[in-house]
Amino acid sequence: MNLRPDQLASQLDKPLAPLWVLFGNEPLLVLEAGDAIRASARRQGFSERETLVVGQGFRWESLTMAAGNMSLFGGEKLVDLRIPTGKPGREGGDALQRYLAHLPAGVLTLITLPELDWQTRKTAWFKALGEHGIIIELNAPERERLPAWIAHRLAAQQQSADPEALSFIADHVEGNLLAAHQEIRKLGLLHPEGKLSLEQIQDAVLNVARYDIDKLRQAVLEGAPARCARLLEGLKGEGAAPPLILWALANETRSLASLRAGRDAGQPLAALFKSERIFDNKRQQALGRALERLSQSGLRAALMHAARIDRMIKGLVAGDVWDEFLQLALRLARR
């Protein structure tokens, strides 16, 4: 059974299901959800807890032993299984399926995983988790939803802010949700309950955004030129390697050019995504929107531009590499 993150709180006052599975790309949200489940388990009498971390040399029989090793004088037990790699392997997958087929009475099992790719989600062991327990996927909010996420967090500490102030915070914590959480908590300590002004927020919030290349690729596909400029400035300030940035932009351009050519030839987009091995739904949607505003001739020009930057990085052509990165990103993000 799949549960949305916003549905978790309403479930924690009810008798807990015997199996909970948390995974996603944002460790802060996974940690908070796990803490909430563990706190609810304590309230409901699960007084014992045993934590197992799957790593090199992990013995999977210890999972069954942990579930069966109940204290003579204790209450019910929580088995906290963590798989940091998200890859239990064949032995682990088989062990999980055997364990799920006979979930022990009086034991609550909490399994924590990282972000999972589409191949892992199709494995027999992961499907078995969904059949026997509750699965919650916890991902960082998209950039356009980040101000609303910040507003919700501020409201929890009886504070609020105007949209401009919320956008200011979002710009300065983008890609770093833990830092966003810390900045919001800091605002709660610095200022009383009520509405915060833009000046108060500007004085308190540090620039803790983590600029990464994936965010740049996303901004290009979404057609967000201002965000592209800000991300490139951040990457330059952090000393990012120009060849890596060029690879990301050129690779995105080649994918778009291939999809555009196939679409112009009358091929269905779904088949083109399959041939390009693009299976993530969000990425498919972003590419589809980008194709609506990019022509084949424009993409060919972008590929030629990328080739010129490559020669510039190698010292064969004079020019400012970072300025050319900006021009290329704006060419691709242009609406």
What's the CATH number where 217 sits? Answer: 1.20.272.10
pLDDT digits (tens, 9 = 90+) for 40-59: 999 999 988 999 999 888 99
Asked whether the beta carbons of 202 and 164 are under 8 A apart, the reply is no
Looking at residue 140, what DSSP letter applies? P
For 171, the domain range is 143-204
Asked whether the beta carbons of 123 and 100 are under 8 A apart, the reply is no
For residue 279, what pLDDT is reported? 82
pLDDT at residue 209 greater than cutoff 90: no
pLDDT digits (tens, 9 = 90+) for 121-166: 999 999 999 999 999 999 989 888 999 999 999 999 999 999 999 9
By percentage, how much of the chain surpasses pLDDT 70?
96
Instruction: For residues 190 and 237, state if they share a domain.
Output: no
pLDDT at residue 214 greater than cutoff 50: yes
- Nearest of 23, 79, 18, 85 to residue 51 by alpha carbon: 79
Instruction: For residues 24 and 124, state if they share a domain.
Output: yes
pLDDT at residue 332 greater than cutoff 70: yes
Pairing mode, if any, of strands 2-3 and 134-137?
Answer: parallel
Asked whether the beta carbons of 113 and 123 are under 8 A apart, the reply is no
Q: What is the count of structural domains for the chain?
A: 3
Asked whether the beta carbons of 23 and 117 are under 8 A apart, the reply is no
Asked whether the beta carbons of 121 and 48 are under 8 A apart, the reply is no
Pick the last residue of a domain from 114, 137, 160.
137
For residue 68, what pLDDT is reported? 76
Asked whether the beta carbons of 63 and 95 are under 8 A apart, the reply is yes
Q: In what order do the strands lie in the sheet with 134-137?
A: 2-3, 134-137, 19-23, 107-112, 77-82, 48-53
pLDDT digits (tens, 9 = 90+) for 307-326: 999 999 988 888 899 999 99
Question: Poorest-confidence range of 36-50, 200-214, 243-257, 288-302?
Answer: 200-214
231-240 burial string, b = 16+ CB within 10 Å, else e?
Answer: bbebbbeeeb
What's the rounded Cα separation, in Å, for the pair 137 and 115?
9
Instruction: For residues 29 and 91, state if they share a domain.
Output: yes
Asked whether the beta carbons of 12 and 40 are under 8 A apart, the reply is yes
pLDDT at residue 89 greater than cutoff 70: yes
pLDDT at residue 208 greater than cutoff 70: no
pLDDT band at 210 (very low <50, low <70, confident <90, very high): low
For residue 72, what pLDDT is reported? 46
Pick the last residue of a domain from 108, 137, 166.
137
Residue 308: Cβ within 10 Å count? 14
Instruction: For residues 311 and 246, state if they share a domain.
Output: yes
Pick the last residue of a domain from 160, 179, 204.
204
pLDDT band at 14 (very low <50, low <70, confident <90, very high): very high
For residue 172, what pLDDT is reported? 83
For residue 71, what pLDDT is reported? 53
Instruction: Considering only residues 210 and 148, tell me which one the structure prediction assigns the higher pLDDT.
Output: 148
pLDDT at residue 251 greater than cutoff 60: yes
Instruction: For residues 221 and 191, state if they share a domain.
Output: no
Q: Is 160 helix (H, G, I), strand (E, B) or coil?
A: strand
pLDDT at residue 234 greater than cutoff 90: no
For residue 322, what pLDDT is reported? 93
Q: What number is the average pLDDT over the span 280-293?
A: 88
What's the rounded Cα separation, in Å, for the pair 297 and 233?
28
What's the rounded Cα separation, in Å, for the pair 25 and 3?
16
Instruction: For residues 18 and 93, state if they share a domain.
Output: yes
Q: Which two tokens stand for residue 219?
A: 């901004």
Instruction: For residues 8 and 64, state if they share a domain.
Output: yes
CATH code of residue 175: 1.10.8.60
Mean pLDDT estimate for the chain: 89
Q: Under 8 Å CB-to-CB from 317, ≥6 apart: which residues?
A: 308, 311
What's the rounded Cα separation, in Å, for the pair 87 and 85?
5
Q: Under 8 Å CB-to-CB from 89, ≥6 apart: which residues?
A: none
Instruction: For residues 112 and 151, state if they share a domain.
Output: no
Q: What number is the average pLDDT over the span 5-26?
A: 93
What's the rounded Cα separation, in Å, for the pair 165 and 179?
17
For residue 96, what pLDDT is reported? 94
Instruction: For residues 154 and 129, state if they share a domain.
Output: no
Q: What number is the average pLDDT over the span 260-286?
A: 87
What's the rounded Cα separation, in Å, for the pair 236 and 225?
16
Instruction: For residues 197 and 240, state if they share a domain.
Output: no
For residue 74, what pLDDT is reported? 53
Asked whether the beta carbons of 145 and 166 are under 8 A apart, the reply is no
Distance of CA 90 to the CA centre of its chain: 26
Instruction: Kindly state the greatest CA–CA separation across the chain.
Output: 77
Asked whether the beta carbons of 79 and 67 are under 8 A apart, the reply is yes
Instruction: For residues 128 and 7, state if they share a domain.
Output: yes
Instruction: For residues 271 and 189, state if they share a domain.
Output: no
